[in-house]
Amino acid sequence: MNAHALRNISLTAVRVETPREAIDTPYLMMDLAIVADRLTQLRSALPNTVILYAVKANPAVEIVGMLARSGVQFDVASRGEIDLCLGLGVPAESLSYGNTVKKERDIAYAVAVGVGRFTVDSPAEMDKVIRCLPSGCVFIRLATDGLGADWPLSQKFGCRPAQAWELMLRAASAGLEVGLSFHVGSQQRDPGAWVKPLAEVGSLMRRFAARGHQVSAVNLGGGLPSRYVEPVPRSHVYGAAIADAVAHHLGPDFDGQLLIEPGRHLVGDAGTIRSEVVLVTERATDSGRRWVYLDIGRFNGLAETLGESIRYRISTERDGGPVGPVVLAGPSCDSADVLYEKCEYQLPLALQAGDRVELHSCGAYTASYSSLGFNGFAPLRCLFLGPPGDRSPAGPPQ
């Protein structure tokens, strides 16, 4: 199984029964039982909330199919993700087109196939949706400050309450249902991060009610974390904090739907990337620490190491012996393909070329970011371990 032979395989197509040891690294092993467990925990933590899985986190058909069979709905970012879900038999009414930046013809396509929920954060995007959608729900996304999140939140998305208010009125005039949404930033480590945006949502909701209109749904967005190097609270802690904020800021008058869009939280901890050390060397220009080059890097799966934002837990077959500081780098000829240089990892002094290294909680935002074949390295392959009794081939929900 060489890299070249894999070049044209989609990230969702590999389902291998070969013994693991016989498989060339790097690969991502997804344990579907952990996905199922995270879903159970989240449902218990937020019992009255509709779960929309953010397909972008890991679009493998094995995962989307399994979640569909579990009654999960889906947040989609593009026509490509809509088609992926429909192709698996997911009903269009289970989809929410959450990207606030859409071509008008893609909105029209989504409406034509039956999608009824769209998110906007600007007047121009609202115009597109109004032109395409005869009836359905338009979510208006509020900006947040993203404080407490590990993956940066830019000014790219969201509008301020004053503009949201204008958009709410326009949607209502067009006869559409109005929802409100926000995103507290990905890998949000502060369960209190939902309070401030929910306060804004509550305020807009009451003002809207005073005009005789109703906010029919509130989408709590993404942000729920995976377990990387820094500790994070468990699902139920987030659930309690969010439920409190909902009760306090939306109040007993709110009888609309609550939704949440976990991506990373459902699949991150379920994935392990198995890699091989390609080279360990000192660098004369960087004394006192070793450079460890892996066969996985920035461009074949670890894009979220950008700015060293997401810090994966790492284990090696030499663990237990003395350790020392390392810089971790990927296998390509690109100088930007350095994973961790500032946040110093400590790895065993005995580590050498050929050793196996595992990166944990890599189930989200890895394979889907993988380049098509940068430097001739194949995209990251995914293998799947199914829960007992659920190893049926991917297909329509049953």
Query: Who contacts 260 (Cβ-Cβ below 8 Å, separation ≥6)?
Result: 42, 46, 49, 50, 51, 52, 219, 220, 221, 222, 224, 242
State which residue, 153 or 246, has the beta carbon closest to its own copies: 153
| Contact indicator for 266, 59 with CB cutoff of 8 Å | no
Q: What's the min distance (Å) between Cβ of 107 and its own copies?
A: 11
Q: What's the min distance (Å) between Cβ of 251 and its own copies?
A: 26
Q: What's the min distance (Å) between Cβ of 305 and its own copies?
A: 12
Query: Who contacts 177 (Cβ-Cβ below 8 Å, separation ≥6)?
Result: 135, 136, 137, 138, 171, 216, 217
Q: What's the min distance (Å) between Cβ of 248 and its own copies?
A: 26
Partnered with residue 328 across adjacent β-strands are 292, 340
State which residue, 33 or 77, has the beta carbon closest to its own copies: 77
State which residue, 33 or 169, has the beta carbon closest to its own copies: 169
Partnered with residue 178 across adjacent β-strands are 138, 215
State which residue, 49 or 186, has the beta carbon closest to its own copies: 186
* Gyration radius of the chain over CA positions: 22
State which residue, 244 or 276, has the beta carbon closest to its own copies: 276
If DSSP codes are grouped into helix, strand and coil, which group holds residue 369?
Answer: helix
State which residue, 27 or 293, has the beta carbon closest to its own copies: 293
Q: What's the min distance (Å) between Cβ of 311 and its own copies?
A: 16
CA dihedral 364, 398, 117, 64 (to 10 degrees): 10
Q: What's the min distance (Å) between Cβ of 288 and its own copies?
A: 13
In degrees, rounded to 5, the angle at the alpha carbon of residue 257 between the alpha carbons of residues 252 and 258 is 85
